[in-house]
Structure 1
Amino acid sequence: MDTKDLSSNKMPVTNEKKNFWGFPFTHFSYFFIWAVVYGYLTLWMEQVGHLNGVQSGMVFSMMAGISLIYQPFFGVISDKLLFKKNLILTIAVAGMFVGPYFQWAFLPLMHVNSVLVAVVTGAFLSFILNGGVSVIEQYVQRASLANHFEYAHSRVGGSVAGVVASLVAGRLFIWSPNSIFWACTIAAIILVCLLLFSDKINMDNADVAGDTSDSLDWKTVLSVFKIKNLWVLAIFYMGASALYDVFDQQFIIFFKTFFHTAAQSTLVYSYMTSGQTAIEFLLMFPMPWIINKIGSRNGLVIYGLVTALRIIGSALSPNWIWVVGFRLLAGLEMPLLLTSIMKYIAGAFDIRLYATIYALASNFAKQISVFIFSTLAGNLYDSIGYQHTYIYMGIFVLIITVFALFFLKKEDPVQAGERDENGKILS
């Protein structure tokens, strides 16, 4: 069953744009938290928490595993709420407690039991990040449909957040490791204010984002599991996007092996991630036009190929200069993935179930894979080393990408917002 309601999914052709600027700042404040946590949590756990590779992997596994509880409910609730901010505000308020948690709770819990700290940290951070990201993303995507702007242009704010986070957090970490988490608290306060006072929806066009007030019931929601393409997309995400995250979890530890001092590696890492996110920022502007031209399905396949190249290339790098070069490819990966997946789900599925599809096929399936591979990767890092582990990861991503090339169905370009009703590429 391929549930699609084309009559309710026609994309507007007007170029009128309203209420845009609040959303890039929303993306900025949220993804600043994301960039800091995922960029420096492993280093903090190693140097401040004194966790080994297996224990750090367990924390990330719990973040992924517990988010599996959140994801299905967050998706359905988001589809029911549409533009109501109850859930997204709850997530933003939870983000305000990142600083207090790592300042006063993490280490005492670690002294009790390493499994306990992994479970509590996983439940807390996955509510904000692994689980909450789909809520943030689908909300802005729906806002982009109602307000007539490209989602990727709002997501530029997230790229800028990555640049700022890498520049600021590295220096904050050297000065005082705990301060990076208090910076997250400040960003969460800003996010709450933006959601309350800035982000406005052009309700005259709200129907284009899917009217679910009366038509969305549990029978309709459960029908998504009968869609073959949902499972193909989920498998692709489990293989390609999840391994992208697992690869990055302890990448900073691998990167340190190329340097003589921890401070030098941290500083170079900061500049490298700044360059990566600067590339990401620049590519976010033309990427919607590129994806409109090549198609969002092809964009996903290219993303998988680039990811495999980056992972294998990093494993075979003879020095840190080569590692930096391959790392910079991530600046291409994220614009490809973020623009492609948003357009693909809109073009290949019933838009009334947008958040549910995004939560299940993208985040839920991805977190299952991250949950499995985080601890496995941690064990492999300790037993066979980073290089050999990365080679296995890269080959796996390549196999999954070839699978998607043959089995992922083509999207409707009009419904996806890649073409107008006359077949013309949208700019």
Structure 2
Amino acid sequence: MANNSNSSTNKKKKDFWGFPMTHFTYFFMWQIIFGYLTLWMEQVGHMNGAQAGIVFSAMAGLSLLFQPAFGVISDKLLFKKNLILTIAVAAMLIGPYFQWVFLPLMHINSMLVAIVTGVFLCFIFNGGVSVIEQYVQRASLANGFEYGHSRMGGSLAGMIASFLGGKLFLMNPNSIFWACSVSATILLGLLLFSDKIHLENADAAGGTSNSLDMKQVVSIFKLKNFWYLSIFFVGASAIYDVFDQQFIIFFKSFFASGAAGTTAYSYMTTAQIGLEFLLMFPMPWIINKIGSRNGLIAYGCILALRIIGSALSPNLTIVIILRLLAGFEMPLVLVSIMKYITGAFDVRLYATIYALAANFAKQISVFIFSSVAGHLYDTIGFQHTYLILGGIVALVTIFAAFTLKKEDPIQAGEIEEKTV
């Protein structure tokens, strides 16, 4: 009997390791593209700022279509891999596209290449990220492992891609895209041959029947808790992104030279990502202790403290300490939101709710807040703008503390269901 138990445990461990690698291969590509694409488009693609802006605008705009559509499709497919395999195959074409298609199209029509590139990358990244995340989350429920432990692969990928991407770019700028194609090929292999899901436990993640219909999807909009969660993400996570957009400019103002500020910022960011990676391991245990709803509220409190504290910081040391708090924020929100949606909503609608509340609403608000914050930076300065942004996060967090309903801890996987 003991041998059977040990065999079952070893099997589960074996079936776990493919999922951190899935996270690693996907977020390696993510970091390469969002870290070096702008530089490549300027130096190799010969795009001006306006043309490069169209690429990112297309990605942001189309994500508002891809994200909700991919959420509904994912909930329909459940454990079927049709969509995620399509995304992996498309990602394999990143190298060939930028090597052999981008520049010829550029000679024909620069507007055309900007739009095509935006659509292509949005399909893989802006839309695809929620597909990857919900796929691993469902697998974690069926296989009995913590999503946060798998997500450590994504954090590790961010560190390695940031370091390796710069080296590859200096050797040969096009090599960064071929690195993405290699990573996507490994991702495809993992999805086909390694990522085994224990379908006998499928009920914990919404079952295996794709009986979801549009009436059930529309019912989401009648749930007060869905709107409360969306408001929280609009006023907290969106502000997180807006705050970080031009933080490097604020940070460099503490240095005598721009070069010294840029170098220090690089070291600080590496330390922040390293802290994020380390905290991903204990974070599921922490969230299981305090509850995912409380985890979200704690995230909002830390974020408000970081933004308001940056505005009031008397020196560089305090600014750096507050910046490193971001290493706590990301594990906190990533683990909390996965568990909260699972425990507070119908698990069959998990991917749709995640796409709409955590991605769709956030994208719209980032689009709005980015231009407003940019104007405020120019007119009233960073400190006063940060006070406003931090105040918004504080108010939204207080609102969430009183409105977000408590999750079911068993359904969320925070405690094990007792069997008699």
TM-score by length of 1: 0.83
Q: Does 1:282 align with 2:257?
A: no
- Per the alignment, residue 83 of structure 1 pairs with 79
Secondary structure, aligned partner of 1:17 = helix
Q: Distance in 2 between matches of 1:192 and 1:106?
A: 24
- Per the alignment, residue 325 of structure 1 pairs with 321
Shift of 1:370: 2.1
Query: Aligned partner of 2:12: which letter?
Result: K
- Greater CA drift, 24-33 or 320-329: 320-329
Secondary structure, aligned partner of 1:416 = coil
- Per the alignment, residue 234 of structure 1 pairs with 230
CA displacement, residues 11-30 of structure 1 (integer Å, 9 cap, x when unaligned): xxx97835000000110111
Secondary structure, aligned partner of 2:412 = coil
Shift of 1:75: 1.0
Matches within 5 A, 1:28-47: 28-41=24-37
- Per the alignment, residue 3 of structure 1 pairs with none
CA displacement, residues 8-59 of structure 1 (integer Å, 9 cap, x when unaligned): xxxxxx978350000001101111222233444566667776765x887765
CA displacement, residues 129-158 of structure 1 (integer Å, 9 cap, x when unaligned): 221111001100111111111111111111
Query: Aligned partner of 1:92: which letter?
Result: A
215, 219, 222: which is aligned to 2:215? 219
In structure 2, stretches of 5+ residues that fail to align are 1-7
Q: Distance in 1 between matches of 2:122 and 2:313?
A: 33
Q: Does 1:17 align with 2:27?
A: no
Q: Contact between 1:239 and 1:396, CA under 8 Å: does it hold in 2? A: yes
**In proportion to residue count, which structure has more helix?**
2
Shift of 1:125: 2.6
Query: Aligned partner of 2:224: which letter?
Result: K
User: Closer, same or farther in 2 for the Cα pair 1:378/1:63, shift >3 Å?
Assistant: farther
Shift of 1:243: 2.0
Shift of 1:81: 1.1
Shift of 1:319: 5.8
142, 149, 154: which is aligned to 1:146? 142
CA displacement, residues 239-279 of structure 1 (integer Å, 9 cap, x when unaligned): 21122223334444554555566665554443322211211
* Identity rate, percent: 71
User: Closer, same or farther in 2 for the Cα pair 1:247/1:36, shift >3 Å?
Assistant: farther
311, 319, 341: which is aligned to 2:337? 341
- Per the alignment, residue 243 of structure 1 pairs with 239
Shift of 1:170: 4.0
User: Closer, same or farther in 2 for the Cα pair 1:293/1:71, shift >3 Å?
Assistant: same
Shift of 1:376: 3.8
Q: Distance in 2 between matches of 1:254 and 1:99?
A: 35
Q: Distance in 2 between matches of 1:87 and 1:37?
A: 21
Q: Distance in 1 between matches of 2:41 and 2:312?
A: 27
TM-score by length of 2: 0.85
Q: Distance in 2 between matches of 1:316 and 1:33?
A: 37
Q: Contact between 2:94 and 2:177, CA under 8 Å: does it hold in 1? A: yes
Q: Distance in 2 between matches of 1:101 and 1:314?
A: 42
163, 166, 176: which is aligned to 2:162? 166
User: Closer, same or farther in 2 for the Cα pair 1:210/1:238, shift >3 Å?
Assistant: same
Q: Please tell me the root mean square deviation across aligned C-alpha atoms, in Å.
A: 3.3
Shift of 1:84: 1.4
300, 306, 316: which is aligned to 1:304? 300
- Per the alignment, residue 360 of structure 1 pairs with 356
Shift of 1:326: 2.4
- Greater CA drift, 148-157 or 106-115: 106-115
Q: Distance in 2 between matches of 1:128 and 1:108?
A: 22
Q: Distance in 1 between matches of 2:307 and 2:109?
A: 33
CA displacement, residues 107-145 of structure 1 (integer Å, 9 cap, x when unaligned): 888899987666444433322222111100110011111
Q: Distance in 2 between matches of 1:93 and 1:135?
A: 14
Q: Contact between 2:79 and 2:208, CA under 8 Å: does it hold in 1? A: no
Q: Distance in 2 between matches of 1:285 and 1:338?
A: 12
Q: Contact between 2:141 and 2:413, CA under 8 Å: does it hold in 1? A: no
Secondary structure, aligned partner of 1:129 = helix
- Per the alignment, residue 189 of structure 1 pairs with 185
Q: Distance in 2 between matches of 1:46 and 1:307?
A: 34
- Per the alignment, residue 198 of structure 1 pairs with 194
Secondary structure, aligned partner of 1:285 = coil
Q: Distance in 2 between matches of 1:80 and 1:115?
A: 36
CA displacement, residues 210-236 of structure 1 (integer Å, 9 cap, x when unaligned): 125253222112111111100111111
- Greater CA drift, 363-372 or 387-396: 387-396
Query: Aligned partner of 2:415: which letter?
Result: R
Shift of 1:397: 2.0
Matches within 5 A, 1:58-77: 60-77=56-73
- Per the alignment, residue 3 of structure 2 pairs with none
Query: Aligned partner of 1:344: which letter?
Result: Y
- Greater CA drift, 252-261 or 218-227: 252-261
Q: Which structure's CA Rg is the greater one? A: 2
User: Closer, same or farther in 2 for the Cα pair 1:57/1:295, shift >3 Å?
Assistant: farther
Q: Distance in 1 between matches of 2:58 and 2:214?
A: 28
Q: Contact between 2:78 and 2:210, CA under 8 Å: does it hold in 1? A: no
Secondary structure, aligned partner of 2:236 = helix
Query: Aligned partner of 2:359: which letter?
Result: N
Q: Does 1:210 align with 2:206?
A: yes
Q: Distance in 2 between matches of 1:384 and 1:351?
A: 45
